[in-house]
Amino acid sequence: MKIKFDMNVAFTALTLISIVLLTIASPATAFPTMLQGVMNAITLIVKLAAIYAVWLSVLKMMQATELDKKLSKLLRPLIKRLFKNESDEAYNWISVNLAGNMLGMGGVATPAGIKAMHAMASEEQTVASANMILLLIINATSIQLIPATVIAIRAAAGSADASSIFLPTLISTSVSTLSGVILCKVFALTDKKQNKGDDKNRGLHIQNSMLNQRLRGFNTRSRKARKR
């Protein structure tokens, strides 16, 4: 079972079909629509710049006080079981990402997730590894503990019991996350059986990231030595 999904194919197909339809229906709106899309993206990006500025500072403080390492030690048993054979840096970022997700702090989960992906990928890797896909799926189906926005909307619309959706929401998101993790593991297993040649690359990648880590450790050590 092999499913290929390339962002290039998806983007091209969706845009082409939409533009063709728009040109038939109302050709004057094709370009304004695309501009509107980028405009929305810029509005969001400005908001995100503010959110990340605050949260990345918090992350820096956590790194400086080595709280991120303690957090990752706490979550290590779970994470090591889910994500096998990754570098310590990747484990740290994954644990920050998962903790941020569970506490409903999207502002800290996203940057940590991006850094975790970066730590798991080698320089020239273009195909996602099983661990990268697993992290993506956990985030894409993330468990939402308190759906605050939706409850607020329902209360504003005059619902008799606005928070009655709390339990169904919790069960529904747990079902999607759990099934996601299981399916990921199944796909990873069938993948492994199909192409054992990939394993060699994978081993090389692990060696690489371990080497990088040792280098990084060496750098910080020498920096400390210089300070003294």
Partner 1 sequence: MSVYILPVLLIVLIIICIIKKVKVYDCFLDGTRDSLGLIKSIFPYVAAVFVCIELFKASGLSSTISGWLAKPLSYLGIPSEITEIILLVPLSGNGTIALLESIINDCGVDSYPARCAAVIAGATETIFYISAVYFSACKVRKLRYAIPVALFCTLLGTVVACALCRIM
Interface residues for partner 1 in 184-223 (CB under 8 A)? 184, 187
Structure letter (DSSP) for residue 137: H
Nearer to partner 1, 157 or 225 (CB): 157
Nearer to partner 1, 2 or 226 (CB): 2
Residues 27-46 within binding reach of partner 1 (CB under 8 A): 29, 33-34, 36-38, 40-42, 44-45
Q: Which x/- pattern, by CB under 8 A, does the window 117-146 give for partner 1?
A: xx--x-xxxxxx---xx-xxx-xxxx-x-x
225 near partner 1 (CB under 8 A): no
Exposed e or buried b per residue across 133-155, where buried means at least 16 C-beta atoms within 10 angstroms of its C-beta: bbbebbbebbebeebeeebeebe
167 near partner 1 (CB under 8 A): yes
C-alpha distance from residue 49 to each of 14, 54, 83, 111, 213 (Å): 28, 9, 30, 11, 29
60 near partner 1 (CB under 8 A): yes
19 near partner 1 (CB under 8 A): yes
H/E element, 1:
none
75 near partner 1 (CB under 8 A): no
Alpha-carbon gap, residue 47 to 155, rounded angstroms: 26
Sole binder of partner 1 in the list 69, 76, 154, 202 (CB under 8 A) = 154
Max intra-chain CA distance, the chain: 72
Q: Identity (one letter) of the amino acid at 160?
A: A
